[in-house]
Amino acid sequence: MVMARYAVRRLRRAELPVASAALARYLIGKTLVRELPKGRILGRIVETEAYLPNDAACHAFGGETRRNRSLFLRHGHAYVYFIYGNHFMLNVSAGPPRVGAGVLFRALEPLEGVALMRRGRGRVKETDLARGPGRLAAALRVDRELDGLDLCAAGPLWLGEAVGPVGRIGRSVRIGIRRDAHRRLRFYERGSPFVSGPKSLRS
DNA sequence: CGGCTGATGATCT
DNA sequence: GATCATCAGCCGG
């Protein structure tokens, strides 16, 4: 089977909302493109979470450290960290320079390079390939080497325009956090089978 | 489906 | 030593 190759234009930084909640919502339906020696992976963003300045759940809360410094870059840069001894999380920085905020990529709808996304992983349903932030990073082969990368520039990972129509966007509390857990800063495409979380947070 | 649990390591106190 | 923006595997209904 011949996989269609999408002609996707890279998003310019000036197109991205600066504030993290607005950015998180804006990114639903947009695309992430991963360029690897073996080929290209392209996925449609279906779930994000915003982390704000003065948000106790944000890694930047409490100031800049070696780990979180990418969150303080101008909006549009990758922030990658390792957690639970197993998983990388991919974020994009939000806010102006020196303000620590970001958006977590939680789920993708695989559009291109599906075989590449599967490599080195067991039997995984296509709907589960990038469903959840850990699986998303695994599917895109994201690790700390990409931390600090400009996602608005040509390179190994960048943000692309939307492919096809965007469904209705839902909003909910964030998943898996304890601090400031009541804030409704998670955004997702309603009804998509590629969205993570309990069923009650997918409709 | 939902609920539970162990794995596993970087970071910070 | 505790915490952690998770996941796969297992169990019961």
Taking only the tens place, the pLDDT of each residue in A184-197 is 999 999 999 999 99
Alpha carbons A5 and A144: distance in angstroms, whole number: 28
Q: What is the pLDDT of residue A197?
A: 95
Whole-angstrom distance, CA of residue A129 vs CA of residue A174? 21
Residue A85, CB half-sphere, CA atoms under 13 Å: how many? 0
Please check the confidence at residue A19 and state whether its pLDDT lies above 90.
Answer: yes
Q: What is the pLDDT of residue A123?
A: 83
The CB-side HSE value for A43 (13 A sphere, CA atoms) comes to: 31
- Tell me the per-residue pLDDT of A80-111, one tens digit each, with 9 for 90 and over: 999 999 999 999 999 999 999 999 999 999 99
Q: A102-153, pLDDT tens digit by residue? A: 999 999 999 999 999 998 887 899 999 999 999 999 999 999 999 999 999 9
How many Å apart are CA A130 and CA A108, to the nearest integer?
A: 5
Q: Which nucleotide is nearest to A104 (CA to C1')?
A: C5
- Of A66, A163, A88, the closest CA to residue A133 belongs to A88
Rounded mean pLDDT, A166-172 = 97
Quickly give A164 CA vs B7 C1' distance in Å.
40
pTM as predicted: 0.96
Q: Cα torsion for A43, A74, A132, A109, to the nearest 10°?
A: -20
Residue A167 pLDDT > 70, yes or no?
yes
Res A5: pLDDT: 84
Whether CB of A135 is under 7 Å from strand C: the answer is: yes
- Of the candidates A179, A144, A160, which has an alpha carbon nearest to the alpha carbon of residue A9? A160
